[in-house]
Amino acid sequence: MKPLIGKHWHHLPNDEILVLLNADPERGLDRFAVEERQREHGTNTLTPRQGRGPLLRFLLQFHQALVYILLVAVIIKLSLGAWVDASVIFGVVLLNSIIGFVQEGKALGALEALARALTTESTVLRAGQKQRIDAAQLVPGDIVLLASGDKVPADLRLLRGRNLQIDESALTGESLPVEKHIGTLAVDTSLADRVNMAYSSTLVTYGTGTGVVTGTGDATEIGRISEMIAAADVLATPLTRKIARFSHILLYAILGLAGLTFAVGLWHGGSAVDLFMAAVALSVAMIPEGLPAVLTITLAIGVARMAKRNAIIRRLPAVETLGSTTVICSDKTGTLTRNEMTVQQLWAGGQAFALSGIGYAPEGELRRDGERQDLGDHPALGELLRAGLLCNDAVLKQTTEGWKIEGDPTEAALLVAARKAGLEGPREQAAHPRLEAIPFESQHQYMASLHGGNPPVVYLKGSVEKLLERCTTMLGADGQNVSLDSEAVHQRVQAMAGQGQRVLAFARLAVAPGTTDIDHQDVAGGLSFLGLQGMIDPPREEAIRAVRACQAAGIKVKMITGDHAATAAAIASQIGLGGPARDGQPPEVLAGRALEQLSDADLIAAAADTAVFARVTPEQKLRLVEALQARGEVVAMTGDGVNDAPALRQADIGVAMGITGTEVSKEAADMVLTDDNFATIEAAVEEGRGVFDNLIKFITWILPTNAGQGLVIIAAVMAAQPLPVLPVQALWINMTTAVLLGLTLAFEPRERGIMDRPPRIPDAPILNVELMLRILTVGLLLLAGSFGLFEWALSQGASEAEARTIAVNVFAVGQSFYLLNCRSLRFSMFRLGLFSNPWIWAGIAAMLAAQLLFTYLPLMNRLFHTAPIGLMDWVHITAVGLAIYLVIGAEKALRLRRETAGNET
């Protein structure tokens, strides 16, 4: 028997499925059939994806354009016998590669988590005997028995079921357990509506059932999600894209300048060997070797900061990507909502009531028309709540972690509602002990329970239609029976359902004293209608604030859920998605079936214009993310279920929930929220923007060093003078200043008003014209100071080693002063606070100590070709640094004054 992956199992009749699978529902498969199918189909596990080995990942750290220039310089130095210089240059390259290897992006562990999700046991029928086996041994055609609490081990077509309910929220996004039925469905029935199927890795919450295995391993729905995760592209982040583009521009500029310097030197009659070495020195000097290391460490510091704010980063560039986010696509259940069903509206005795409070904590007030109500004044309402409390199998418990439930979430919501209104479960159960019950069955659509007391009574809860057809009267506001007003009931049901609420009806029947059992015939008619309870999975209050803050920061928030359209619209309206409600109407919702009909171009437009998407399949979630990315958006996708994993993987940044999230979603995500709080995303965005600000400050600070050193070498070649800075000296300056000085900018606190800015334009260059001019200005000042003092020292009889030591120290001291300018790209350090970042001063002190060793320690003199210098040389060097600080400070003040004047006009 070959795999029948393409079959619409939900559409075929049971008899035909059993024939196709050659399965016997009474005996199951025999041993030989199982062995044959295991050879044919393999185990019920997901095929792991082969990744890069550690050696290849390490070697790829060298696969960077700027690194190739340094490696060429190493080879040239070795060929000329300059072993020390070659060792220093290669040591820098190796250090950067090790850092990159250790800190490299996220581990591609989503598929392993999916495979672990399948490692469970299941009960099967084989050779007429029930057996408990490892789910990995299941094959198509196996007969599987399901019971409450079981994890569904494979994709099943249901053959029998009794009150079977399955929690499919991790797969489809449906917030409530799905009631399963037996029978055939239309071929185009969406995944979330296939009530005759049970899917791998979902959870049985109630009842029992029997099904035949239709798919195992990669052939299951979760297997298809696995393939989508494997196929989803791991996109470059905005930061890595900009750094890559910037590196290539820098590469071409360096090679161009090196070639031009070599050509001009030849034209001036210089030695080809000397000019070649000058070109190598120029190339080494202008490469910001410290950039990769400081970039990685800065992001790692951002990771530590985010961890303190309940956001765990699994991939370093995700820190910055959050700061670039333009769209957040959020799942609904458990992300924007609490994943705790809550009764919000009640209707009894012809009167509507509201119940405050959210979640399973029994804290809230009963109100009518905004005024607080006492339950004793409303006997009909009391009877409605009592019915929900007693006709109930759920348990509500208070634990150290808060209020928890056992059983169906809908029944738990009824318990909480009764407690809020003042009914105590133990007291009511003692007064009205349960004697018998008719469990809920899908074909009857109600549950009934018989309770002793004076007189005995039967309470029913279920669908409005099924209960109304059994009722002849209804309870009036005074607790007395009145004529049933079916039209009024339907109007109220329509109003509550229009707000996305799940509506349950309640009724009662008085029975004769001494009655001890009941059946369906006993409750077929003559009931009294008690009222309605409307419930919904409410939005998190902090999520409402977070969405509002994100929108204020220019970030669009979209809801993408597998839940029903009415529910999604109601939650979106409460949260504030889709703009303000017009004429009291909820925002427009685009459903999964409509999405299927859209072309790629129409989908791109719809993705931009619509804020709420409902009944969405995993493929459509992935497609929506891709559509937004096609418009140039930087997309963050939040979610907690298996169904979210492909979209989490595809998004520029995937955000998973740490408490309720599945292992699959966590492994696929770039960031995990340890508190499952959507509001943490706002904090993460703020942190990401601060990290990017600090990275821009660092790049603005480090490039003048490279530009200045390059200009000094070019000037020396043009003037036919000795090189003021040798390659190993350039490497020393580049690495020590980057680590000791530049790295301190990573600790710079966030500037005020950072969340009042719109998101950065994704394709905008790293540096704007203003910053490029500032970099050029500082580079020219370093050129003038270092080359001028180099030539002056030679004219005063100093050796080339002494003159070069002076030139190198000009860069170290000049960059120390310029560091104070770069603490803010707009404001003076005095406005920020002199000691708001004490690491700045520690870095400057460490740099001074390093330069003293560089200048006066004999070992350093031999390694870097330096020599001790005098006190007056330090005075001249300091004067150059102070001049840089004053010039840039004046430039910033002038620009700020112009900005202020422009804003006032």
Instruction: Show which residues are catalytic.
Output: 331
Q: And the tokens for 300?
A: 């790692």
In angstroms, rounded to a whole number, what is the distance separating the alpha carbons of residues 785 and 800? 16
Rounded Cα distance between 646 and 637, Å, is: 10
**CB count in 10 Å sphere of residue 599:** 8
Pair 624, 603: CB distance under 8 Å: yes
What is the number of H-type helices and E-type strands within the chain?
Answer: 32, 28
Q: Which residues of 289-327 are buried (b: 16+ CB within 10 A; e: fewer)?
A: bbbbbbbbbbbbbbbebbeebbbbbbbbbbbbbbbbbbb
Q: Are 751 and 824 in contact (CB under 8 A)?
A: yes
Place of tokens 């119940």: 355
- Measured in degrees and rounded to the nearest 5, phi and psi for residue 64 equal -140, 140
* Cβ contact 508:383 at 8 Å: yes
Beta 635-639 vs 653-657: how paired, if at all?
parallel
d(CA 474, CA 253) in angstroms, rounded, equals 85
Structure tokens at 170: 């991790």
- Residue 71's CB is within 10 A of a number of other CB atoms, namely 13
Q: Strands 311-313 and 671-673: what pairing?
A: antiparallel
**C-alpha span between 433 and 772 (Å, rounded):** 81
Query: Are 570 and 499 contacting, i.e. CB atoms less than 8 angstroms apart?
Result: yes
Q: 502-510 and 527-536: which strand pairing?
A: antiparallel
Residue 352, H or E segment: strand 351-355
Residue 65 token pair? 């354009």
For residue 157, the cross-strand partners are 197, 212
Rounded to whole angstroms, how far apart are CA atoms 9 and 19?
12
CA 744 to chain centre: 29
In this structure, what DSSP letter does residue 579 have? Answer: S
Cα separation values, 324 from 9, 280, 503, 512, 685, Å: 44, 37, 42, 70, 8
Q: Are strands 671-673 and 653-657 parallel, antiparallel or unpaired?
A: parallel
Helix (H, G, I), strand (E, B) or coil at 545: helix
Q: Checking DSSP bridges between strand 671-673 and strand 434-441, what pairing results, if any?
A: unpaired
Report how far residue 844's alpha carbon sits from residue 842's, in angstroms, rounded to the nearest whole number: 6
Q: Residue 585: what are its φ and ψ, rounded to 5°?
A: -85, 140
| Secondary structure of 124-138 as H, E, C letters | EEECCEEEEEEHHHC
Two tokens at 373?
């109500």
Tokens, residue 204? 């049985």
Instruction: Report the sign of the C-alpha dihedral through residues 211, 214, 216, 220, in that order.
Output: negative
Query: In the sheet where 671-673 sits, what is the strand order?
Result: 311-313, 671-673, 653-657, 635-639, 327-330, 556-560, 612-614, 589-591
Q: How do 612-614 and 589-591 pair as beta strands?
A: parallel
Nearest C-alpha neighbor of 392 from the set 361, 369, 418, 355: 418
Helix axes 618-630, 221-231, angle to 10 degrees: 20
**CA pair distance 730, 286, nearest whole angstrom:** 8
Tokens read off for 679: 């509001």
